[in-house]
């Protein structure tokens, strides 16, 4: 792959995305997110060897929302190891991101760590033995460390907005608590959860933070091992099967990469051995995933021949 090709493709995609009129619908159930201008688009690709290709609003911070679930899972696995799997599964849910039906059928154990209920259970693991403030700080510092950027911050207006309107997440957390799946007080857990969802990052920062997942668990620029090779692969596997809620199969079919989306319109996608990619466009499709973000990734992988389901470009 010639660097200039990547730059060209990324620029091309940013241009095409800017021009499109179908932009999806901005999430409005969190009022603070509903105010975002849907005409924004950003993409950043960071390759294994440190090349960075960006397009669009790649230095505008956005609310990473559920993309944070990849990082809280990583953190929780570091803290508690496979005990995390005692309280959350690893199967696609076959249901919308906020469904409570499955929880009743399966006695409060969420299907996977990337739906809301599962991420709440993961947050409970991180919180253990900490005050909410400490846990929030730990998660934020982990993001800053991975992105190598102390400027990453939590948008407290978004966190407050989620707190005020977070009835569904309160329902999920109380429901799990009723089954004994959560250790900490519900309001503590939700406090941490709402704050890590409200982390604001740029595409540039997010793509940088994801690099260890493309590189067997190691941050390539420093050689520092964040997780073992096995764990990195397994996190990628869960991103592939569960990263886009009830649109995960469609995303795998069209894009063919492990990826995690958030209702803020961001998506982090991993090209194992090659690159970490972040895209952002606030409008969502009916499954709650970034409409243009998915299309942009499909263009990128098609044009560069990046996929985990074929031999790959040569």
- Binding residues (CB under 8 A) for a second copy: these are 48, 89-95, 99-105, 111-112, 167-168, 170-175, 177-178, 186, 214-216, 229, 232-234, 236-238, 240-242, 246-250, 252-253, 256, 258, 272-274, 307-312
The answer to whether 263 is a known ligand-binding residue is yes
The answer to whether 26 is a known ligand-binding residue is no
The CB-of-176 to a second copy minimum distance in angstroms stands at: 8
22 by Cβ neighbours in 10 Å (0-12 / 13-18 / 19+) ranks as: exposed
Chain-centre distance of CA 40, in angstroms? 19
Which residue's CB is nearer to a second copy, number 43 or number 181? 181
Distance from the first to the final alpha carbon of the chain: 8
Which residue's CB is nearer to a second copy, number 60 or number 171? 171
7-to-16, 45, 201 alpha-carbon distances in Å: 14, 9, 22
Nearest to 296 by CA among 256, 257, 255, 261: 255
Instruction: Note whether 96 and 246 are within 8 A (CB).
Output: yes
The CB-of-79 to a second copy minimum distance in angstroms stands at: 19
Question: In a 3-state reduction of DSSP, which class is residue 44?
Answer: strand
The answer to whether 169 is a known ligand-binding residue is yes
The CB-of-276 to a second copy minimum distance in angstroms stands at: 13
Which residue's CB is nearer to a second copy, number 140 or number 308? 308
- The three state secondary structure string of 5-25 is HHHHHHHHHHHHHHHCCCCCE
Catalytic residues: 66, 69, 193, 245, 263
Which residue's CB is nearer to a second copy, number 154 or number 295? 295
Which residue's CB is nearer to a second copy, number 40 or number 261? 261
**Any alpha helices (H) in the chain, and if so which ranges?**
3-19, 31-34, 68-80, 101-105, 116-127, 132-147, 156-165, 167-178, 186-197, 203-209, 211-214, 229-242, 248-254, 291-304
The CB-of-254 to a second copy minimum distance in angstroms stands at: 8
Instruction: Note whether 282 and 265 are within 8 A (CB).
Output: yes
DSSP letters spanning 231-255 = HHHHHHHHHHHHTTGGGHHHHHHHT
The answer to whether 277 is a known ligand-binding residue is no
The answer to whether 162 is a known ligand-binding residue is yes
Which residue's CB is nearer to a second copy, number 11 or number 48? 48
Task: State the Cα–Cα distance between residues 223 and 124, nearest whole angstrom.
Answer: 30
**203-226: buried (b, 16+ CB within 10 Å) or exposed (e) per residue?**
bbbbbbbbbbbbbbbbbbeeeeeb
Task: State the Cα–Cα distance between residues 15 and 30, nearest whole angstrom.
Answer: 29
- Residues annotated within the binding site are 66, 116, 162, 169, 193, 245, 263
Which positions make up the binding site for substrate?
66, 116, 162, 169, 193, 245, 263
């Amino acid at each position: 792959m010639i660097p200039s090709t990547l730059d060209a493709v990324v620029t091309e995609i940013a241009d095409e995305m800017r021009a499109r009129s179908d932009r999806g619908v901005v999430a409005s159930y969190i009022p603070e997110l509903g105010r975002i201008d849907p005409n924004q688009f950003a993409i950043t690709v960071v390759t294994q060897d440190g090349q960075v290709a960006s397009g669009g609003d790649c230095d505008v911070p956005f609310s990473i929302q559920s993309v944070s679930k990849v990082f809280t899972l990583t953190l929780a696995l570091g803290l508690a190891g496979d005990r995390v799997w005692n309280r959350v599964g690893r199967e696609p849910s076959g249901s919308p991101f906020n469904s409570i039906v499955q929880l009743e059928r399966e006695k409060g154990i969420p299907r996977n760590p990337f739906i809301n209920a599962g991420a709440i259970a993961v947050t409970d693991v991180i919180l253990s033995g900490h005050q909410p403030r400490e846990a929030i700080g730990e998660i934020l510092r982990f993001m800053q460390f991975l992105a190598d950027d102390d400027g990453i911050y939590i948008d407290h207006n978004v966190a407050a907005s989620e707190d005020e309107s977070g009835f569904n997440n309160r329902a999920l957390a109380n429901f799990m608590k009723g089954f004994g799946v959560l250790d900490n007080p519900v309001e503590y857990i939700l406090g941490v959860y709402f704050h890590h969802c409200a982390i604001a990052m740029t595409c540039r920062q997010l793509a940088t933070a994801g690099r260890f997942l493309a590189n067997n668990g190691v941050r390539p620029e420093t050689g520092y091992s964040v997780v073992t090779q096995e764990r990195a692969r397994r996190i990628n596997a869960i991103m592939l099967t569960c990263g886009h809620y009830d649109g995960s199969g469609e995303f795998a079919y069209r894009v063919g990469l492990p990826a995690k989306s958030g209702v803020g319109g961001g998506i982090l996608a991993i090209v194992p051995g090659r690159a970490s990619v972040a895209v952002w466009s606030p409008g969502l499709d009916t499954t709650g995933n970034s409409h243009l973000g998915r299309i942009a990734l499909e263009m990128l992988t098609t044009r560069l021949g990046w996929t985990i389901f074929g031999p790959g470009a040569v």
